[in-house]
Amino acid sequence: MGNSLQALNHTQFIPIFIGLAMGVALGLVPIAIPGLSSPLRLGLAGGPLVVAILLSRLGKVGPLVWHMPANTNIAFRELGIALFLACVGLGAGTKFLATVMSRDGLIWAASAIVVVMVPLLAIGIIGRKWMRLNFIDICGLLTGSMTDPPALAFANGLARTDAPSIAYATVYPLTMLCRILIAQVMVLLFFK
C-alpha cells in the first residue's frame, strides 16, 4: 500500500540498524510489576523482537521502509544461524566430551532428553491426530516453541518450502517473550 516494488526490493540498512538500536533501548527499559521486588526487562532478545514486530506492522515511516526483501532476509537468517552455532560450539569448549561422559553429565543429558522429548512427542501427536496438521507445519511449530534456529534450518532443508518458517514465526515471538519474562519472575519469586 503506497510502497513501490523497487523500494521493497531494495535493502535499506539504515532502518535495520535504527530498528536494532530501538530494540536494544526497549530491552533495557525496566518494567515494574506490582508484587515483584525488581523490575523485569525484555533484554537484548525481547526488545528487538517486539520492535521488529511493531515496525513491520507500520511498514513505512517517512523515507524509512521497514521491509526486508526476501533475499536479504534469507541471507541474514542463514548468517544468524551460522553465528549462533559457531558460538555454541566455541562455548562448549574443549572439556565438552569429558563433561558429558562424567556421571553428572550423563544424568543431565538423560534428564535433558526426557524434558525435551516428552513435550515434543505429546504436541506432535496432538497436532497430527487431533489438529490434523501436516508434518511440515508441526516441524515449524515445534521448532518455534523451542526457539531453536538449528532445528528450523533442518526443517526448512527437509521441506524445501517456507512452510516451517511460517509456522515457526507464528509461535516464536510469544514463546520467546514468555521465556524471557517467566524466567525473571521465577528468579524473583523463588530465589529471594
Helix (H, G, I), strand (E, B) or coil at 133: coil
Q: Residue 106 and residue 43: Cα distance in Å, rounded?
A: 32
pLDDT tens digit string along 29-56? Answer: 999 988 888 899 999 989 999 999 999 8
Treating both helix axes as pointing N-terminal to C-terminal, what angle do 70-92 and 149-159 enclose, rounded to 10 degrees?
A: 130
User: Which residues sit opposite 61 in a β-bridge?
Assistant: 64
pLDDT tens digit string along 63-122? Answer: 888 888 888 888 888 888 888 888 888 887 778 888 888 899 899 989 999 988 898 899
pTM for the predicted model, two decimal places: 0.70
